[in-house]
């Protein structure tokens, strides 16, 4: 049975930027979204 995880808009946006290879000028502003992705198992901490 698959587990569904609800991600925030910010986490989805960060994931899309990472996939496209974009780099943030201020990565600290995205920490919450990165933590959310790590908790969901989508990204490594």
- Note whether residue 2 is domain-resident: no
CA angle 27, 28, 34 (to 5 degrees): 75
- Note whether residue 45 is domain-resident: no
How many residues does this entry show for the chain? 45
Domain around 18: 9-40
Return the pLDDT at 42.
83
Q: Are 37 and 31 in contact (CB under 8 A)?
A: no
Dump pLDDT digits (tens) for 1-45.
778 889 999 999 999 998 999 988 888 899 999 999 999 988 776
Q: Measuring CA to CA, which residue among 33, 39, 36 is closest to residue 14? A: 33
Number of domains in the chain: 1
Q: What is the pTM of this model?
A: 0.77
Which pair of tokens denotes residue 37? 């992705």
- Note whether residue 36 is domain-resident: yes
Q: Residues near 11 by Cβ (< 8 Å), separated by ≥ 6?
A: 33, 36, 37, 40
């Amino acid at each position: 049975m698959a587990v569904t995880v609800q991600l925030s808009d910010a986490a989805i946006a960060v994931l899309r930027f990472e996939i496209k290879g974009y780099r943030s000028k201020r990565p600290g502003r995205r920490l919450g979204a990165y933590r959310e992705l790590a908790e969901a198992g989508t990204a490594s901490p």
